[in-house]
Amino acid sequence: VSQDALQNDIDSAALLDHAENLQAIAYQTTGRNRVFGSPGHNFTTLYLYELISQLDEYYDVEYQPFIETFSGGDATLTVNGEDQQAELMTYAPNGQVEAPIVAVSNLGCEPSDFPAEVSGAIALISRGTCDFGLKAAYAGAAGAAGAVIYNNVNGSLSGTLGAPNRTEGTYPPTAAISLSNGRAILALLEAGEVTGDLNVNSIIEDRVTMNVIAQTKAGDPDNVIFVGAHSDSVEAGPGINDNGSGSIGILEVALKLAKYEVNNAVRFAWWSAEEFGLLGAEYYVNQTTPEDLDKIRLYLNFDMIASPNYFLGIYDGDGSAFNLSGPAGSAEAEALFEGYFASKELPSQPTEFSGRSDYGPFLDVGVAAGGLFTGAEQVKTEAEAALYGGTAGLAYDENYHREGDTVDNLNLEAFLINTRAIAHAVATYADSFDSLPARSQRVVRRSPLVPKARATGCHHKHAEEATAR
């Protein structure tokens, strides 16, 4: 397969057409979204499966069904009678709580952070360091009647506690608020007692969902280049950038690849339930034997590749920028994308290789990984605006995890640039892995986690974890 030829096969019109189709799929359902286990997501997986199955002489295509616990609903919060913008933390239980608000010490990642006054109160906790579910569980163990987690960066916060029944404690009704609202409550607490009224209305139920996986019939099956993106959205909207863009990008590369010969097997996956803690990718890794994991030379992940106020981010595989490196081969994947952007006279920058998207479970079992990202809710800097254009001081994607993440939210320039970069990587590794280090024994960092709590923070809003990668 020719690198230039596959890149040149990618055009904006096809990308836009897929985006419009995904939006139409979402909007034909009552939920107007593509959240996992919903009609919108089921039709999304059908769309992907049917398109790639048309190439059944080139690909083996399968559904990988699994059952996961879904949580949805809404939350409201008033503070001293004033309404606050609050978001449901998925997997939080139902409940209505009117009680004093008590600020938690530090970041709520240790039982000792919760003072005795938390018992019967609403615990106010900062985001940071450990996952949201641990904070909520410790709050429950301390007797809190409710919990409110506030962001540690500008912007609203939404995320997941992860499936309940943790050993650390029972979740109380829990919601999320912005940094500015959190600071305002802390200021009120400095002046005296503050009363909160927290109302969480949620449903928690098991749902059947599925990954879609396609692999070339040709190419060495013992040397696989694996390309993935999550196919689900959040409940708030159709999720056309997050992550329609990544799903479409790898879909279009897969469709165009089919007229070329490959030396190495190429595998594509569209993961379900990423927004609930990387669940589809974790299920896949858990179901794959060590022998088959050894055949994956590199996993590449594409999550939000068309943010409207974008930067061109490459996962920091060598750890030089964020001191979080990937397994052997990850640095070389980063270098490949750096070289590609440089060859097109485009700027790029490293983005934290934190494991907070679907590459995380692969890192956990020692599979080399890489990928691209164009930004979520964090704010573009002046320096980035000078490099990429756009507006400093605004979020990379102001519609991140919102109803407005529609076709109109896409930056088509970034979409085309990144999809052609995906084509370059697929063509390179489908031909040869010579640029990667020799295959070595995988080093398993840890078993894939009980759901990685996913927040709405940069890198794609996955909640921080106590264990650094």
pLDDT in tens, 269-297: 999 999 998 999 999 999 999 999 999 99
Average pLDDT over residues 68-86: 96
d(CA 76, CA 84): 7
> Residue 263: is it exposed, middle or buried by C-beta count within 10 angstroms (0-12/13-18/19+)?
middle
Residue 468 has pLDDT above 90, yes or no: no
Q: Domain 3-58+217-431 is classified in which CATH homologous superfamily? A: Zn peptidases (3.40.630.10)
Cα of 155 vs its chain's centroid, Å = 17
Residue 442 has pLDDT above 90, yes or no: no
Cα of 109 vs its chain's centroid, Å = 22
CATH code for residues 73-202: 3.50.30.30
Q: Which of 274, 352, 384, 465 is labelled catalytic?
A: 274
d(CA 277, CA 281): 9
Q: What is the mean pLDDT of the chain?
A: 94
Domain ranges of the chain: 3-58+217-431, 73-202
For residue 153 the two structure tokens come to 């960066």
Residue 456: the pLDDT is 34
Asked, as a colleague might, if the bond just before 243 is cis with ω within 30 of 0, I would say yes
Residue 158: the pLDDT is 84
Percent of the chain predicted with pLDDT > 90? 89
Residue 443: the pLDDT is 85
Average pLDDT over residues 100-129: 98
Residue 82 has pLDDT above 80, yes or no: yes
- Range from 112-116, 195-199, 435-439 carrying the lowest mean pLDDT: 435-439
- Say if 3-58+217-431 and 73-202 have the same CATH topology: no
Decide: 299 and 368 in contact? Cβ < 8 Å.
Answer: yes
Active site residue 274: yes
Residue 467 has pLDDT above 80, yes or no: no
Residue 283: the pLDDT is 98
Question: 387-418 pLDDT, tens per residue?
Answer: 999 999 999 999 999 999 999 999 999 999 99
> Residue 291: is it exposed, middle or buried by C-beta count within 10 angstroms (0-12/13-18/19+)?
exposed
